[in-house]
Amino acid sequence: MCSVIGFTKRSIPEEAALAGFARTASRGPDMSFFREVGEGWLGFHRLAIMGLGPEGMQPFELGGSYLACNGELYGFRPIKTELISMGYRFRSGSDCEILLPMYREYGTDMFAMLDAEFALILYDAATGSFIAARDPLGIRPLYYGELPGGGTAFASEPRNLVGICERIMPFPPGCWWKDGEFHRYCDLTTVEECSGDDEEAAARHIRELLIQAVDKRLDSDAPLGFLLSGGLDSSLVCSIASRLSPRPIRTFAIGMDTDAIDLKYARRAAEFLRAEHTEVVMTRDEVLATLDTLIKALGTYDITTIRAAMGMYLCCKAIHETTDVRVLLTGEISDELFGYKYTDFAPSPEAFQQEAKKRVDEIHMYDVLRADRCIAANSLEARVPFGDIFFVRYVMSLDPALKMNRRGIGKYLLRHAFERGGWLPDDLLWRQKAAFSDAVGHSMVDDLKEYANGLYTDGEFESLSAKYEHARPFTKESLLYREIFERYYPGQSQMVKDFWMPNRAWPGCDVDDPSARVLSNYGGSGV
Is omega for the bond preceding 514 within 30 degrees of 0, making it cis? no
> Exposed e or buried b for every residue in 242-281, given b needs 16+ CB within 10 A?
beebeeebbbbbbbbeeebbbbebbbbbbebbebebbbbb
Beta bridge partners, 146, equal: 152
Note the maximum CA span of the chain: 71
Q: What is the pLDDT of residues 461-483, one digit of tens each?
A: 999 999 999 999 999 999 999 99
Assess whether 129 and 221 both reside in one domain.
Answer: no
Q: Is residue 463 part of a domain?
A: no
Q: What is the pLDDT of residues 311-353, one digit of tens each?
A: 999 999 999 999 999 999 999 999 999 999 999 999 999 999 9
Of 447, 477, 499, the domain-final residue: 447
Q: What is the layout of strands, in order, in the sheet containing 224-227?
A: 276-282, 250-256, 224-227, 327-329, 381-383
125: enclosing H helix or E strand: none
Is pLDDT at 526 greater than 80 in this prediction?
no
Count how many Cα atoms sit within 13 Å of the Cα of residue 107 in the half-sphere of its side chain: 6
Domain containing residue 114: 3-184
Is pLDDT at 78 greater than 90 in this prediction?
yes
Please state, in angstroms and rounded to a whole number, the distance separating the CA atoms of residues 115 and 390: 9
- Across 317-429, where does the E strand assignment appear? 327-329, 381-383
Is pLDDT at 437 greater than 90 in this prediction?
no
Question: What pLDDT sits at residue 285?
Answer: 96
Q: Is residue 517 part of a domain?
A: no
225, with CB counted inside 10 A (0-12, 13-18, 19+), is: buried
Q: Is residue 146 part of a domain?
A: yes
Please state, in angstroms and rounded to a whole number, the distance separating the CA atoms of residues 306 and 366: 9
Q: Is residue 154 part of a domain?
A: yes
Assess whether 170 and 205 both reside in one domain.
Answer: no
Query: Annotated catalytic residue: which of 2, 238, 315, 316?
Result: 2
Please state, in angstroms and rounded to a whole number, the distance separating the CA atoms of residues 82 and 373: 35
Q: Is 2 a catalytic residue?
A: yes
Residue 102's CATH number: 3.60.20.10
Q: Is residue 139 part of a domain?
A: yes
Please state, in angstroms and rounded to a whole number, the distance separating the CA atoms of residues 386 and 2: 21
Question: What pLDDT sits at residue 436?
Answer: 64
Assess whether 254 and 122 both reside in one domain.
Answer: no
Please state, in angstroms and rounded to a whole number, the distance separating the CA atoms of residues 281 and 283: 7
Alpha helices in 385-475 (DSSP H): 389-397, 400-403, 412-417, 426-429, 436-439, 442-453, 458-465
Is pLDDT at 439 greater than 90 in this prediction?
no
Number of other CB atoms surrounding residue 199 within 10 Å: 15
Q: What is the pLDDT of residues 8-52, one digit of tens each?
A: 999 999 999 999 999 999 998 888 999 999 999 999 999 888 777
Assess whether 219 and 291 both reside in one domain.
Answer: yes
Q: What is the pLDDT of residues 369-401, one digit of tens each?
A: 999 999 999 999 999 999 999 999 999 999 999
> Ramachandran region of residue 471, left (φ > 0), alpha (ψ -120 to 50) or beta?
left
Assess whether 426 and 381 both reside in one domain.
Answer: yes
Is pLDDT at 427 greater than 90 in this prediction?
yes
> Ramachandran region of residue 358, left (φ > 0), alpha (ψ -120 to 50) or beta?
alpha
Residue of 204 and 521 predicted with greater confidence = 204
Assess whether 239 and 119 both reside in one domain.
Answer: no
Assess whether 278 and 131 both reside in one domain.
Answer: no
Assess whether 276 and 366 both reside in one domain.
Answer: yes
Beta bridge partners, 61, equal: 66
Question: What pLDDT sits at residue 303?
Answer: 97
> Exposed e or buried b for every residue in 146-162, given b needs 16+ CB within 10 A?
bbeeebbbbbbbbbbbb
Q: In the predicted model, what is the mean pLDDT of the chain?
A: 94
Number of other CB atoms surrounding residue 96 within 10 Å: 25
Side chain identity at residue 21, one-letter code: F
Q: What is the layout of strands, in order, in the sheet containing 169-170?
A: 31-37, 40-46, 3-7, 152-155, 143-146, 169-170
Question: What pLDDT sits at residue 371?
Answer: 95
Q: Is residue 274 part of a domain?
A: yes
Alpha helices in 115-191 (DSSP H): none
Q: Is residue 467 part of a domain?
A: no
Q: What is the distance, to the nearest Å, from the Cα of residue 76 to the centroid of all Cα atoms in its chain?
A: 21
Q: How many domains is the chain built from?
A: 2
Q: How confident is the model at residue 502 (pLDDT cuts 50, 70, 90)?
A: very high
Give the 3-state secondary structure of residue 525.
helix
Task: Tell me the mean pLDDT in the region 492-509.
Answer: 95
Q: How confident is the model at residue 523 (pLDDT cuts 50, 70, 90)?
A: low
Is pLDDT at 57 greater than 70 in this prediction?
yes
Question: What pLDDT sits at residue 471?
Answer: 96
Assess whether 216 and 152 both reside in one domain.
Answer: no
Of 419, 447, 475, the domain-final residue: 447
Residue 250's CATH number: 3.40.50.620
Is pLDDT at 527 greater than 70 in this prediction?
no
Assess whether 177 and 230 both reside in one domain.
Answer: no
Is pLDDT at 109 greater than 90 in this prediction?
yes
Question: What pLDDT sits at residue 261?
Answer: 86
Give the 3-state secondary structure of residue 194.
coil
Of 447, 470, 505, the domain-final residue: 447
Q: What is the pLDDT of residues 141-174, one digit of tens each?
A: 999 999 999 999 999 999 999 999 999 999 999 9
Residue of 20 and 522 predicted with greater confidence = 20
Instruction: Output the CA–CA distances (angstroms, integers) from residue 212 to 231, 336, 385, 425, in the order listed.
Output: 21, 20, 9, 22
Question: What pLDDT sits at residue 525?
Answer: 61
Assess whether 236 and 113 both reside in one domain.
Answer: no
> Exposed e or buried b for every residue in 303-315, given b needs 16+ CB within 10 A?
bbbbbbbbbbbbb
Question: What pLDDT sits at residue 432?
Answer: 84
Assess whether 303 and 411 both reside in one domain.
Answer: yes
Alpha helices in 245-328 (DSSP H): 262-273, 284-298, 303-322
Q: Is residue 439 part of a domain?
A: yes
From 377, 69, 390, select the one nearest 206 (Cα to Cα): 390
Please state, in angstroms and rounded to a whole number, the distance separating the CA atoms of residues 213 and 371: 18
Question: What pLDDT sits at residue 524?
Answer: 64
Q: What is the pLDDT of residues 185-223, one digit of tens each?
A: 999 999 988 999 999 999 999 999 999 999 999 988 889
